[in-house]
Amino acid sequence: MKHVEHFAAQLDILKQQGNLRRFTSNVQQGRMIRIHDHEMLNLASNDYLGLAANIELREQFFDETPNAQRWMSSASSRLLTGNFPEYEQFESSLSQAFHGRAALVFNSGYHMNIGILPALADSKTLILADKLIHASMIDGIRLSTAKFVRYRHNDLAHLTQLLHKYHTDDAFERIIVVTESIFSMDGDETDLAELVRIKKQFEKVMLYVDEAHGIGVRGEQGLGCAEQYQVIDEIDFLVGALGKAMASIGGYLICHPVIRDYLINTMRPLIFSTAQPPICMAWSNFILQQVLQLKTARQHLHSISQTLQQAVQTKGFACPSTSQIVPVIIGDSSKTVEKAKALQHAGFYIMPVRPPTVPQHSSRLRISLTAQVRHTDLDQLIQLL
């Protein structure tokens, strides 16, 4: 009992701080979500293009996929017998979309980020990372033997300063700069064109860019911010997650073929974990073909995002967002939770985000727009903010 009491006391502390987390059961249909029989507009999902919620799309996929191909388990790592044709088909589609560069997929974005960095970075590597990168990259860096220095969030001048400082240090053979394109909590974005320009001034630098929130929603074909800013070929490790706008599960890396081969030989979560079921690969491939065509949905998402960003600013909140992720930064955790409850009561499912997901005293409502949201929905929401 003594041990359980210890953990119960820890939970009590979280509760007092307004930081206790719990699962909530829910039922979803289209753009709506129902919790305890209360129906709300879903503004907490990462299904940015509304494809995960699209039932016709699912029907089409199953109609096109005969039962013989609906493998629900790969039963093994890809290096043993898990490398089903669906894997090679999806990677080949990715490769084709991304200018013929090599593609490698992973079980999740989290696996990807905790696996690639430790495989690549040794003690002669310096990692320079944006202060606000996702926990999965932090964990990846922690698992590596590299030296790790952070630069101020989205401050490329600070990054340049650090590069000048460390580039001449013989202790380092390589410097990997790690960032996101669109950041998951502030919804702001890195100037990728400028980042690439900086990289070109420093021989030792390689770029690692996570497009978890950019894939699907940016660029003519939805290939992300790298497509939008025409730098697909300049980013050494272009990674992203498939569980958001891509309405599936997994992570992908676009890289040089040598890097791909190297990771197949060294990346532990790839080697020691059972590969995703082939049906998931087939679905990811099916969705990719759709996403390449969804220009209108992307334009709509962009339009409602701009409307909401401007409204949040007009209401007097700081709003760093330039994307579909629109935070309303309140600060205090308990107040944020109360505000979220009030909005939920009014029919808008918006989640509070609290430390340690975001820095202390920056608790916020994280509004996550999807292409299913209409301008008229926003009018109501904006009044309530």
Chain residues binding ligand PLP by CB under 6 A are 108-110, 113, 134, 136, 180, 184, 210, 212-213, 241, 243, 251
Q: Please report how close the Cβ of residue 342 comes to ligand PLP at its closest, in angstroms.
A: 27
Give exposure, 261-283, as e/b (b: 16+ Cβ within 10 Å): eebeeebebbbebebbbbbbbbb
Nearer to ligand PLP, 109 or 327 (CB): 109
Q: How near is the Cβ of 244 to ligand PLP at its closest, in Å? A: 6
Write down the least CB distance from residue 173 to ligand PLP, Å. Answer: 26
Is the CB of 339 or the CB of 354 nearer to ligand PLP?
A: 354
Type of residue numbered 36: H
Alpha carbons 110 and 297: distance in angstroms, whole number: 27
Cα(145)–Cα(133) distance, integer angstroms: 18
The smaller minimum CB distance to ligand PLP, of residues 90 and 110, is found at: 110
Pick 284 or 363: Cβ nearer ligand PLP: 284
Question: In this structure, are strands 351-353 and 174-180 parallel, antiparallel, or unpaired?
Answer: unpaired
Of 22, 40, 86, which Cα lies nearest the Cα of 248?
86
What is the rounded distance in angstroms from the CA atom of residue 23 to the CA atom of residue 259?
39
What is the distance between the alpha carbons of residues 209 and 125, in angstroms, rounded to a whole number?
A: 17
From the CB of 6, what's the least distance to ligand PLP, in Å? 30
Residues in a beta bridge with 364? 329, 353
Those residues whose C-beta lies under 8 Å from the C-beta of residue 156, and which sit 6 or more positions away, are 190, 191, 194, 195, 198
Distance CA 33, CA 250 (A): 24
Identify the helix (H) or strand (E) that includes residue 151: strand 147-151
CB of 7 to ligand PLP, least distance (A): 26
Nearer to ligand PLP, 133 or 378 (CB): 133
* Closer to ligand PLP by Cβ: residue 225 or 381: 225
Minimum CB distance to ligand PLP smaller for 241 or for 294: 241
Q: Which residue is nearest to ligand PLP (CB)?
A: 109
Amino acid at 79: L
From the CB of 57, what's the least distance to ligand PLP, in Å? 20
Min. distance of Cβ 223 from ligand PLP in angstroms? 16
